[in-house]
Amino acid sequence: MTKAERAAHVATRLEELYPETPIPLDHTDVYTLLIAVLLSAQCTDERVNKITPALFAIASTPQTMAKVPVGTIRDIIKPCGLSPRKSVAISELSKILVEKYNGAVPDDMEALESLPGVGHKTASVVMSQAFGVPAFPVDTHIHRLAQRWKLTNGKNVVQTEKDLKRAFPKESWNKLHLQIIFYGREYCSARGCDGTTCPLCRELFPDRKRAVKTRK
């Protein structure tokens, strides 16, 4: 198969497997989604979903979160890891949203990336899932699978994002990035597949004998 044929096959199979793509992080609005995505850095969605109810019970808006002591936030989110840095970011970005954006999360990539603790991936998730703007957030699952499926050279996540945006139609990005994540978790995990065993890896590369080493 050519790269274009592989991309088309991937899109077709993932649509069959995951016609519905619910956002895996529990949230009630754009702000709580932003906080949940920020917390998910180096933490599983499952763990984030166990922690956010307690956090949002004391503050679920920028206005209320800005008044919560950083230490209180840190104690609640501690199981997520990186709690000192994340708690400060949550407090500071909440204050900025109140002071600069009247308590609203901006629907602009550059503005989002300027917020404390909000990198390109987090901003991309918010833009795609909250505002419907085409984006292709690349997490570890997507970076790994794109390499196993030879849709990127795996140089880095920035290159992977560029390659995937070229490989798939723009209107499919928001749904497809979630479909790839779902597939990676269920069939093609870091330990569960080495590029030769899961259904899609076998379909795309039936003659592949050697494991694919994922480049970071």
Which letter, b or e, does each residue of 65-101 get, where b requires 16 or more Cβ atoms within 10 Å of its Cβ? bbebeeeebbebbeebebbeebbebbbebbbbbbeee
pTM of the model: 0.89
Mean pLDDT of 119-124: 95
Query: DSSP alpha helices (H): ranges in 59-119?
Result: 62-65, 70-77, 83-101, 109-113
207 is catalytic: no
Catalytic, out of 86, 121, 150, 163: 121
Catalytic, out of 45, 107, 108, 139: 139
| pLDDT one-digit tens code per residue, 81-91 | 899 999 999 99
**Residue 14: exposed, middle, or buried by beta-carbon count in 10 A (0-12, 13-18, 19+)?**
buried
| pLDDT one-digit tens code per residue, 43-93 | 999 999 999 999 999 999 999 999 999 999 999 999 998 999 999 999 999
How many helices, marked H, and strands, marked E, lie in the chain?
12, 0
- Length of the chain as a residue count: 216
Domains, the chain, ranges and CATH?
3-21+136-204 (1.10.1670.10), 30-129 (1.10.340.30)
Contact 127, 109 (CB under 8 A): yes
